[in-house]
Chain A
Amino acid sequence: DAGVTQSPTHLIKTRGQQVTLRCSPKSGHDTVSWYQQALGQGPQFIFQYYEEEERQRGNFPDRFSGHQFPNYSSELNVNALLLGDSALYLCASSLAQGGYTYEQYFGPGTRLTVT
């Protein structure tokens, strides 16, 4: 049973560039959430996708956008990269069940460095 997978593992970009990160959810899960984890901090919620729609969003600028595909996989896009976007980006998947919240399973993350 495959867990949550993310690609790439590491990425180095230059300020002003754009980046796309990818996530495949755990088998049987239909909901994908994205988190940003700065060094030494807890993860911060970016947004969540369910049924190909953004269902909830955290306090992140519009430079952060996403997409969910029919197979439930998801992409996180960040435009006009800033140095402060350097972080570990975590994808989490879960199963939506009647509006109740169950555990989110996390992937290994993508380490983004902006120079």
Chain B
Amino acid sequence: AQKVTQAQTEISVVEKEDVTLDCVYETRDTTYYLFWYKQPPSGELVFLIRRNSFDEQNEISGRYSWNFQKSTSSFNFTITASQVVDSAVYFCALITGGGSEKLVFGKGTKLTVNP
């Protein structure tokens, strides 16, 4: 069975602070894909990143960076110099290989960035 755990339910920071959102996943498959989505108050899930299980390179995109560590089954997301517009619920999700198209989501972390 696949499972995604986001232990942080809510995080509140002040603008310009760095913040890391944790994600731990469970799967027995060797081929899988990990995702991060952002859900602003409007409700629409916005795709942020996809990583496959064979690529452990960290990735940076502007103020966003992701740290993928298979040894600890973690795929953490860091926002540098947070902004008010970053306030949203962030979801980590997993798809296993073999043709499965079912995204398994964590419960999400609500990030509030205060001015």
Contact = CB atoms under 8 A, between A and B. Distances in A.
A106 to B, nearest CB: 4
Contacts, number: 61
Contact of A108 (B43, B50, B100, B108): B43
A109 interface: yes
Interface residues of A, number: 28
Interface in B23-47: 33, 35, 37, 42-47
Given A33-B103, A106-B44, A107-B44, A101 B91 contact: no
A43 B4 CA distance: 12
A71 interface: no
Interface in A30-51: 31, 33, 35, 40-45, 48
Nearest to A4: B44
Given A90-B45, A106-B44, A108-B43, A101 B106 contact: no
Contact of B47 (A88, A105, A111): A105
A43 B50 contact: no
Contacts of B37: 106
Nearest to A43: B105
B100 A56 contact: yes
Interface residues of B, number: 25
B101 A108 contact: no
A101 B43 contact: no
B100 A104 contact: no
Contacts of A103: 35, 47, 50
A45 B45 CA distance: 14
Contacts of A44: 105
A53 B37 CA distance: 27
Contacts of A56: 100-102
A48 B106 CA distance: 19
17 contacts: A31-B101, A33-B102, A33-B103, A41-B107, A43-B91, A56-B100, A92-B103, A94-B101, A101-B95, A101-B100, A103-B50, A104-B47, A104-B101, A106-B45, A106-B47, A108-B43, A111-B43
Interface of B: 4, 33, 35, 37, 42-47, 50, 91, 93, 95, 97, 99-108
